Amino acid sequence: MSNDSSDRSLSSVITWNKDVKVMPYALFGVVALIVGAVAAIMTLINGHDTMFNLSPEVPWGLLIASYAFFVLTASGLAFIGGIGHAFGNSAYLKINRRIVVMAFAVLLAGFTQIGMELGHPLRLAWYMLVSPNFSAPITWMGVLYSIELLILAFELYLVLKPNPTEKDHRNSAVVGFCAMIFGVLAAATLGFVFGSNTARPFFHGSYFSTFFVVSGITAGAAMLLFVHNLVYWGRVPSSLSKTMSSLGKLMATGIGVMIFLYLWKILATVYTPAADGGYAAIRELLSGSLSTNFWGGEILLAIVLPLFLVLITKAQSMKMLGLAGFIYIVGFFFTKYDFIIAGQVPVGGDDFIGSGINRMADFQAYVPASGEWLIMLLGCGVFFTFYFFAEKILVLEKES
């Protein structure tokens, strides 16, 4: 390969996109990153106690929610990317680079969340290698998301490789397909981390694996809709309108399935309150301390509004799709937050006399501390910085 040609081909990937006005986002990312990093360092120095508001009753708080929020979105993105490859869906293939970069950035953001959530993040890698416990779902989740990160990194390399050969194309299709499979598996396994839990009846079962995958794919679509609108400042080029409207339909379908899942989970629990199927948690969601979050955050933001916006515009208005995507993403965050907190509602009943008073009080006392919000901001910062700088300097759209 001559220098000349390599130069030219490199420019097919790396440029300075003058017309892409994403610097404000990237800069926001940098600021968020710095602020978040300061909080992270403070957490490393001072420890969780001073920075987070966790308690023995609610050991998993905002950061587990934000972790799920990010990694499930990444899974969803990988899924959408995978569809492009697997079924040759040209609408999605068109934005494949964007999808891969975005998935990678979001997953990275997710890793910062779990990293900061751990009491000893550095030990993690070591002991997962030295003495992994394979009966722990969290081990598998960790393994799968690590693999997913590697796959996405490899895919990133492949899709950004200048002068891709035919083989590269085929490879990247295979890798994209793998990313989809592992993304979905990882998301489902994250669901299983909760689903395998017998201590918290609300978590237990296959429901969340399904819900995570579906809502994650929906989030992936929403994310793409939203980010495209950001990148083009609300004026998504018509060349992408087919893609966007396809994503909009995907999102609407996802929300449709979610409605279905919600309905039967809630009905099944409320119908048999005595069956220890998480009634206390559902009650907390429907009418308890989390009810504002649930009705406002989940039902309104994750279901009603985005669906409404997509349906009345027949998935044709780019702006409305972007808005719907944004609203859904916020709602999606609530679905994760609420479910993780609600699931930790004390196990009640006569069998555990006393749990009623002591633990309920502490449960209701959980409100994320500013330290937790700042770590979440760190995650956002990682995403914004990584992704929008990529927008600025990489060619993320291909003619296809």
Stretch (H or E) spanning 396: none
Q: C-alpha distances in angstroms, 72 versus 78, 210, 236?
A: 10, 12, 25
**Closer residue to another protein, CB minimum distance, 279 or 326:** 279
**Closer residue to another protein, CB minimum distance, 185 or 301:** 185
Does 296 bind another protein (CB under 8 A)? Our answer is no
Of 324, 341, 319, the C-alpha closest to 53 is: 341
**Is the CB of residue 174 less than 8 Å from the CB of residue 230?**
no
Does 273 bind another protein (CB under 8 A)? Our answer is no
- 177: Cα within 13 Å, side-chain hemisphere: 10
Of 301, 375, 366, 370, the C-alpha closest to 333 is: 301
Site for another protein in 203-222 (CB under 8 A): 203
Does 347 bind another protein (CB under 8 A)? Our answer is yes
Q: CA–CA separation, 195 vs 216, rounded Å?
A: 16
Does 48 bind another protein (CB under 8 A)? Our answer is yes
Of 96, 66, 54, 63, the C-alpha closest to 78 is: 96
The CB-of-364 to another protein minimum distance in angstroms stands at 13
The CB-of-123 to another protein minimum distance in angstroms stands at 5
Q: CA–CA separation, 345 vs 367, rounded Å?
A: 14
Does 316 bind another protein (CB under 8 A)? Our answer is no
**Closer residue to another protein, CB minimum distance, 64 or 80:** 64
**Closer residue to another protein, CB minimum distance, 115 or 162:** 115
Of 13, 17, 86, 276, the residue at the interface with another protein (CB under 8 A) is: 276
**Closer residue to another protein, CB minimum distance, 127 or 260:** 127
332 Cα distance to chain centroid: 8
Does 56 bind another protein (CB under 8 A)? Our answer is yes
Site for another protein in 226-265 (CB under 8 A): none
**Is the CB of residue 222 less than 8 Å from the CB of residue 332?**
yes
Instruction: Supply φ then ψ for residue 59, to 5 degrees.
Output: -75, -20
**Closer residue to another protein, CB minimum distance, 120 or 167:** 120
Q: CA–CA separation, 185 vs 189, rounded Å?
A: 6
β-bridge partners, 394? 14
Does 189 bind another protein (CB under 8 A)? Our answer is no
Q: CA–CA separation, 47 vs 45, rounded Å?
A: 6
Of 47, 234, 273, 296, the residue at the interface with another protein (CB under 8 A) is: 47
CB atoms within 10 A of CB 302: 29
Does 274 bind another protein (CB under 8 A)? Our answer is no
The CB-of-113 to another protein minimum distance in angstroms stands at 12
**Closer residue to another protein, CB minimum distance, 372 or 391:** 372
Site for another protein in 107-146 (CB under 8 A): 117-121, 123-124, 127-128, 131-133, 135-139, 142
User: Which residues in this chain contact another protein in the complex, by CB under 8 A?
Assistant: 46-50, 52, 54, 56-57, 59-60, 117-121, 123-124, 127-128, 131-133, 135-139, 142, 193, 196-200, 203, 276, 344, 347, 351-359
